[in-house]
Structure 1
Amino acid sequence: MNLAKISANGQITVPIEIRRLLDLKSGDKILFFQKKNGEIVISNASSQAIRKAQAAFTGAAEAMGIYSENDIQELVNEVRYGKEK
């Protein structure tokens, strides 16, 4: 368990162990959210955004008929040259 003290301005210092676990660096933003059971969770906002984007794109490649690196290259060629090469 780690303990942090809140300053008069509402600021806290995140303990080093927690910064390491969340891969937090100077200037990073942290996200606070409450789960349905009332528990408060702290997360690295960047990591959370990446996970959300990954979830949003799940299945997009398959929906476009892309199943391999070769399919990706064909799509790139089509966009670059207006036809498959």
Structure 2
Amino acid sequence: MEAISDKSTFTDDAKVMSKGQVTIPKDVREVLGVGNGDRVTFVVDHGKVTVVNSAVFAMKYLQDQLKGEAEKLGLESEQDVNDLMKSIRDED
């Protein structure tokens, strides 16, 4: 591992095996918060690849997609959300 500027910025490398498999270095796994059985997502953007924790990526994507929806529905408080959920569940 080669330090670039501080402990939060570093480089690391791994060898690509015959089937395209790569072992993610331990320090990178720790930063991503992934372990055995977890999934990672490869985000490719104009020749740059970013590896992210799939669960974190999915949650961020969902949040981005739902941004502004509460306002559209007139939900301004937790009670508004609870009332909506009760009406959807037909609990009135």
Which bin holds the TM-score, normalised by the shorter protein? 0.7 to 0.9
Report the secondary structure of 2:85's partner residue.
helix
Amino acid aligned to 1:16: K
**Length-normalised TM-score, structure 2:** 0.74
CA RMSD of aligned residues (A): 1.7
Q: Which runs of 5+ in 1 are unaligned?
A: none
* Residue 69 (structure 1) aligns with: 78
Larger strand proportion of the pair: 2
Percent identity, aligned pairs only?
A: 28
Deviation of the 1:74 alpha carbon: 2.2
Cα distance in 2 for residues equivalent to 1:8 and 1:81: 57
* Residue 40 (structure 1) aligns with: 49
**Length-normalised TM-score, structure 1:** 0.79
Cα distance in 2 for residues equivalent to 1:77 and 1:43: 36
User: Alignment length, in residue pairs?
Assistant: 81
Q: Which runs of 5+ in 2 are unaligned?
A: 1-10
Out of 54, 58, 68, the position equivalent to 1:49 is 58
* Residue 19 (structure 1) aligns with: 29
Greater RCO, CA 8 A, separation 6+: 1
Q: Deviations over 1:12-53 (max 9, x none)?
A: 1101110011111211222223222x2222122221111111
Report the secondary structure of 1:63's partner residue.
helix
- Runs in 1 of length 4+ with deviation above 3 angstroms? none
Cα distance in 1 for residues equivalent to 2:30 and 2:84: 40
